[in-house]
Amino acid sequence: MQFFKTVIAAVATLAATAAVAQEYKEEYRVSTVVPAPFPWGIAAEKWAELTAERSEGRINLKIYPGVQLVQGDQTREFTAMRQGVIDMAVGSTINWSPQITELNLFSMPFLMPDYAALDALTQGPVGERIFEIVQAKGAVPLAWAENGFREVTNSKTPIRTPADLEGLKLRVVGSPIFSDMFSAMGANPTQMSWADAQPALTTGAVDGQENPLTIYSVLNMHELGQTNVTLWHYVADPLIFAVNQQVWDSFTSEDQEILRQAAIDAGAIGIEIARKGLTDGDQSLIEDIRGKGVEVITLTDAERQAFVDATRPVYDAWKEKIGADLVDLAEQSIANR
């Protein structure tokens, strides 16, 4: 009798597993902005690899870089995921900020001076609060990755003071806080997608841009005339692994945990790659860029403070928009790092 009970239980388990497998899609579409060899793309690909391996093929993620699932419009990615047009994404907090105002926290000018400050936010109570907000908006956040600190480059002049930005036409992402910041520093900010930015830099239609140095390096931006780089760490761009709520609910609890842990592990790999060559102990990427004839400026504390002062009205105005309580928590987390 016990033998038959065991057989019946095994058959029931197999049937349940088969039913779940039949409900799963053959492919889950994952949106991201850039592919490998960018750290962002590597993190997304690693997520797909680990998920397929650990789920024994039950969950297959296909990466669609270039935000091609939303016709290249980075700022539409979160809405498309929430609506189910996209199943999952490894998305930028900057690109999702038009739909989730609180994500502008990471774009507050000169809030985070270093990686320890960034980690204090994403790995602490601020990160937990951000994930609660993202989930309330219709997507399930799983883990953090990183695009990195954004630095300013241009083809005209070295930038050491706000006065050096005066009149420079700079490409910025489509988030209002960026236009506010660069206008406050005297520049002429122009919002455009990255697909439009590259030819604009080539022709000189815009003078410069701001992006992490990993983006600069992989794209060989020195060949686009971007021969002046200023390291100022004015904002950072954390990435979030997230899943559409309905897709998430379709998975078993076991597979949810597999997907989450795969994202955590892939995010850790992505962060390590995003910081390689850019830390106090290893500046090899910076030296490689200098070796291409690029002037790379690291601001002194006094020079950086001048930019902090110039953008303080923007900081104060956006603190109210984002939520003073959240910004206060971020400031406290950074102070206690």
Q: Where exactly are the structural domains of the chain? A: 25-335
CA distance linking residue 93 with residue 71, whole number of Å: 19
Mean of pLDDT over the chain = 93
Spell out the residues 6+ positions from residue 185 whose beta carbon is closer than 8 angstroms to its own. 162, 165, 307, 310, 311
Q: Which residue has the tokens 């850039």?
A: 34
CA distance linking residue 126 with residue 259, whole number of Å: 23
For the chain, which residues score pLDDT lower than 50?
A: 3-19, 21-22
CATH of the domain spanning 25-335: 3.40.190.170
CB atoms within 10 A of CB 328: 11
CA distance linking residue 129 with residue 131, whole number of Å: 5
CA distance linking residue 96 with residue 102, whole number of Å: 10
In this structure, what token pair is assigned to residue 43?
């993190």
E strand map for the chain: 28-31, 61-64, 88-92, 139-154, 169-172, 188-191, 208-211, 228-244, 295-298
Q: Are strands 169-172 and 208-211 parallel, antiparallel or unpaired?
A: parallel
Q: Which amino acid is at 34?
A: V
Q: Give CA 214 to chain center in angstroms.
A: 13
pTM, whole model, 2 decimals?
A: 0.92
**Is the CA virtual torsion 152, 189, 273, 137 positive or negative?**
positive
pLDDT, position 174: 82
CA distance linking residue 249 with residue 278, whole number of Å: 39
DSSP category for residue 59: S
pLDDT, position 2: 53
pLDDT, position 200: 95
Closest CA to 307 of 145, 198, 199, 160: 160
pLDDT, position 6: 46
95: left (phi over 0), alpha (psi -120 to 50) or beta: alpha
